[in-house]
Structure 1
Amino acid sequence: MPQLPKILRGSLTTKISPGGTPGSFHLPCRKVVIEYCETNPSSKGTRDFLLSQCKDLAKRTPSTEFVVKQRPGKHPIVRGFYLNNRTKEISLQNLAATGVLPKVQLLLDSSGNKITSLKRRPVESVTESARGIWSALHDTGKDI
């Protein structure tokens, strides 16, 4: 089985640890898988991206592994795998080669966490309430 070029595999020899060493930074995205079809017209932009810009992107991000797979008869997708064991998937259907790079960069810059709403965040207070913390153990059972 032929080995993938080192350019596409990235530098996997460095150990990625949660603490890391002082002065080192690793992207939360550990692996990017680009899947495309060789004959499907919706994959044309993805094929052009792989021929022109993928090697440069892999060189710029050595801590991320890049894998290219064929997906016959289906639309192209890019899938990101993160250090927190989550994955994100983005469709590349009918995108031009210049439109594929921002989608891949979006996965690289993402943390992998779930998207949370900023409008309905629970109220968190740093001070105690006047009545203290309620507990079912302190309930006497008397109904008023």
Structure 2
Amino acid sequence: MASRLAPATKPLFRAQLSSRPTNGHVAFIPQVRKVVFEYCEKWASSANTRSYLHRHLEDLARAHPHVEVVVKQRNYKPPIVRGFYLNDNEKVIGLNGFEITGIQNKVQLLLDSSGAKIKPLKRRTIESTTESARGIWSGLHVDETFKI
């Protein structure tokens, strides 16, 4: 009578051995993975977006083969371009009122962006890992008040 025992170790597949590619000195991986254009076929506000798509979309797709380019109709709404990134973030830019060169600039902004949240450079709060040795100073809690 042969008993079936579980294998001592789990089988190791080749797909588990591969590592996820990262940016470094050997390779550069663009952070954008997908760009979606959404426009209305009837509204006049989407006219420049429609002409941009007819004239420049194929060149954009050829210049950036790593990016999936999708065109969707968005009826009775202003045109937008949406960028999806490797860090599972997305950025949406409205294209209403832009000329064709402005649309090119906004699309290039999405292609060059990392997808990270925009952090303000001014007024960043200072956070310390340790507490202050002397505590927080307050002019109300001193023995002697300041005399002028």
What is the TM-score when the length of structure 1 is the normalising length?
0.70
Does residue 63 of the first structure (1) align with residue 66 of the second (2)? yes
CA contact (8 A) 1:44 1:96 kept: no
CA contact (8 A) 1:44 1:94 kept: no
Describe how 1:28-107 pairs up with structure 2 within 5 A: 28-107=31-110
Letter in 2 for 1:72: N
Deviations 1:57-111 (Å, cap 9, x if unpaired)? 1111111110000111111000000111011100001222222110111111111
Give me the whole-angstrom Cα distance separating, in 2, the residues matched to 1:96 and 1:117: 29
SS at 1:35 equivalent: strand
Residue 4 (structure 2) aligns with: none
Letter in 1 for 2:107: V
Listed as ranges, the gaps of 5+ residues in structure 1 are 1-16, 132-144
Letter in 1 for 2:112: D
User: What is the root-mean-square deviation of aligned Cα atoms in Å?
Assistant: 2.5
Does residue 120 of the first structure (1) align with residue 123 of the second (2)? yes
Residue 138 (structure 1) aligns with: none
Give the Å deviation of 1:129: 7.5
CA contact (8 A) 1:29 1:82 kept: yes
Give me the whole-angstrom Cα distance separating, in 2, the residues matched to 1:130 and 1:43: 57
CA contact (8 A) 2:22 2:28 kept: no
Give me the whole-angstrom Cα distance separating, in 2, the residues matched to 1:105 and 1:20: 20
Letter in 1 for 2:100: A
* Matched residues, number: 116
Give percent identity, aligned residues only.
51
Give the Å deviation of 1:130: 7.7
Give the 3 Å change call, closer, same or farther, for CA 79–125 of structure 1 in structure 2: same
CA contact (8 A) 1:32 1:67 kept: yes
Letter in 1 for 2:69: F
Residue 12 (structure 1) aligns with: none
SS at 2:92 equivalent: strand
Give me the whole-angstrom Cα distance separating, in 2, the residues matched to 1:105 and 1:49: 13
CA contact (8 A) 1:33 1:79 kept: yes
